[in-house]
């Protein structure tokens, strides 16, 4: 029996209808622009091979990944030319593979431009840094004659503070518009999830939502537009009856004040459920809250079963993981909450 067919004690339930809804909402909010989808980091932990077909069926035709291996994982699911590699050609072999497969390289430097041209070039994207000071060509490099040899589909930049009302957004918009006037291109893209909410001036021809596709709400303007997409589920491995005075978990940070029944759940910090959830998190069964007790371990978390006394070993509970609420409780960003979800979850 193959390993993937064996039963798992953790699973990540994907609400495909919510994922399709979120893309459609972000596409609508993008106005005249078309929404793409950032599916890097295994679709933000959701599972790229599960998410990409849903997004494609919903109407998405542009997908953004980071590494060549991520593109290879989904290249059979979409049309040639649909995938863009954000980190660009790090070596000649990357460039050659992308050219053969019809994957667009995003050129981030003059060296990458040279590397792309040396293997024969072809349609590509270009990233221009307008103030975040990460990957991308500097504004001062845009007049370099080498760039005139590129056949540019999408001219990108990336916003540093799109979820905030700060002057940086207008400054980056102005620089992006200047870059558009300097480099010939077919399409232009600036806005991420929160950037879509900034307005039509930031949309260009193509937006690049990421976290909001998967249930993240990075700014107030998207409240009510985005639905929860993933629900981590964990199995109860053992029931225990505690007496008053019994301690739970490492360092005895929880001590029972009364007799109580608890469940040991197959979930821990090795799965991305970090120790910051200790004494703060909760599980859900039929709408009832089951608080986390004591310190989260590597593979186990203990929960209070007072609200659901009928639960038994082998039953499943949902991890309370609505991203905005979970972020407020845990102190983790919504991006971290998604991408931390480990490989032991069946998807």
Supply the DSSP symbol for 103.
Answer: P
Q: Examine the residue annotation and report whether 101 is marked as an active-site residue of this protein.
A: no
Give the residue among 335, 258, 337, 322 at the shortest CA–CA distance from 284: 322
Cα 33 from Cα 38, distance rounded (Å): 16
Name the catalytic one among 220, 250, 286, 343: 250
Are 225 and 25 a contacting pair, CB within 8 Å?
yes
CA distances, 227 to each of 86, 223, 345 (Å):
27, 9, 21
Are 191 and 207 a contacting pair, CB within 8 Å?
yes
Distance of CA 95 to the CA centre of its chain: 25
Give the residue among 72, 76, 88, 86 at the shortest CA–CA distance from 36: 86
Distance of CA 314 to the CA centre of its chain: 30
Name the catalytic one among 40, 269, 273, 321: 40
CA distances, 168 to each of 138, 164, 174, 219 (Å):
16, 9, 10, 16
Q: Examine the residue annotation and report whether 40 is marked as an active-site residue of this protein.
A: yes
The set of residues, in sequence order, having a beta carbon less than 8 Å from that of 270 and lying 6+ positions away, is 298, 299, 342, 344
Query: How many Cβ atoms sit within 10 Å of the Cβ of residue 89?
Result: 27
> What is the Cα Rg of the chain in Å?
23
Active site residues: 40, 250
């Amino acid at each position: 029996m193959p390993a993937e067919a064996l039963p798992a004690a953790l699973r990540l339930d994907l609400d495909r209808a919510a994922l399709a809804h979120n893309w459609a909402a972000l596409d609508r909010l993008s106005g005249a622009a078309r929404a793409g989808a950032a599916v890097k980091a295994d679709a933000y932990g959701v599972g790229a091979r599960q998410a990409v077909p849903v997004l494609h069926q919903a109407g998405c035709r542009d997908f953004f990944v980071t590494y060549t291996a991520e593109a290879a994982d989904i290249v059979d699911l979409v049309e040639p030319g649909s995938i863009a590699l954000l980190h660009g050609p790090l070596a000649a072999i990357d460039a050659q593979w992308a050219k053969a497969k019809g994957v667009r390289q995003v050129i981030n430097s003059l060296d990458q431009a040279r590397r792309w041209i040396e293997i024969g070039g072809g349609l590509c994207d270009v990233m221009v840094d307008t103030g975040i000071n990460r990957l991308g060509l500097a504004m001062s490099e845009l007049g370099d004659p080498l760039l005139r040899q590129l056949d540019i589909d999408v001219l990108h930049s990336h916003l540093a503070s799109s979820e905030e009302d700060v002057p940086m957004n207008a400054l980056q918009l102005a620089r992006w518009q200047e870059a558009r006037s300097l480099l010939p291109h077919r399409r232009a893209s600036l806005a991420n999830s929160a950037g879509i909410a900034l307005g039509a001036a930031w949309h260009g021809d193509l937006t690049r939502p990421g976290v909001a596709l998967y249930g993240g709400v990075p700014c107030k303007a998207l409240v009510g537009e985005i639905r929860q997409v993933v629900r981590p589920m964990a199995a109860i491995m053992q029931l225990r009856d505690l007496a008053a005075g019994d301690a739970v978990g490492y360092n005895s940070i929880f001590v029972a004040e009364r007799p109580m029944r608890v469940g040991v759940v197959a979930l821990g910090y090795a799965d991305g459920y970090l120790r910051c959830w200790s004494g703060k998190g909760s599980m859900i069964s039929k709408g009832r809250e089951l608080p986390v007790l004591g310190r989260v371990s590597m593979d186990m978390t203990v929960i209070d079963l007072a609200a659901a006394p009928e639960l038994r070993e082998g039953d499943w509970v949902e991890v309370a993981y609505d991203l905005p609420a979970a972020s407020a409780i845990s102190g983790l960003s919504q991006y971290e909450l998604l991408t931390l979800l480990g490989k032991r979850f069946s998807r």
